[in-house]
Structure 1
Amino acid sequence: MRFVDDLYSLYREHLEDEENAVSVVLNILEDQNREDIMKLIEEMDDEEVVQMVGVYLVEMLKMKMSQEGQLSDWESPLKRPRYH
């Protein structure tokens, strides 16, 4: 996806680990509205959309399993501390 490639090019120096990647993404999304996000999705090909929804569904299932006590070691990357 072009957007991911652009993000990576801009922030590659700051992407030392998963926590940094989550922070970058959350900071970028903070400045976007629904219309901006929908434009990004519309630019994706079908495979990218399916992959995005698949990752989302897996993470949501893992969160639900954790809430139900079925997955004790899962932590949402979205709930980690954010660094600006």
Structure 2
Amino acid sequence: MKFVDELYNFYKDKLIADEEDVDLLIYSIMQDLSREEMLRVLSELNDNELYQITGSYLAFKLKEKIIQDQNLGSISDDNKYLN
């Protein structure tokens, strides 16, 4: 992916393989991108890269929803014992 290659070349001497550093860098960059710029980055992906990104996002959101529902369910379950 061209965008990742450019980021890596720019920051390769400043970063270590620390997940928090990478997350902060990406979050910071994403805040400065417009919707059009993000769509341009996505338009440069090949089919496999687009599939990986979409799949990762959908899996993350599904896990997030399961966790949210389980947490809400445990609160509701606890409340029924208090009544």
Indicate whether the TM-score tops 0.5: yes
Structure 1: how far apart are the matches of 2:62 and 2:37?
26
Equivalent position of 1:24 in the other structure: 25
TM-score, normalised relative to structure 1: 0.74
Equivalent position of 1:73 in the other structure: none
Structure 2: how far apart are the matches of 1:62 and 1:43?
28
Aligned residues: 70
Aligned residues: CA RMSD: 1.5
Q: Which runs of 4+ in 1 moved over 3 A?
A: none
Bigger CA radius of gyration: 2
Structure 1: how far apart are the matches of 2:50 and 2:28?
22
Q: Which letter does structure 1 place at the counterpart of 2:32?
A: D
Cα 1:15/1:58, change in 2 over 3 Å:
farther
Q: Which letter does structure 2 place at the counterpart of 1:2?
A: K
1:1-84 to 2 correspondence within 5 Å?
1-12=1-12, 13-69=14-70
More helix by share: 2
Structure 1: how far apart are the matches of 2:63 and 2:2?
28
Q: Percent identity?
A: 36
Structure 1: 5+ residue stretches without partners: 71-84
Q: Which letter does structure 2 place at the counterpart of 1:18?
A: E
Query: CA offsets, 1:32-72, max 9 Å, x none?
Result: 011001111111111111111011011111111111227xx
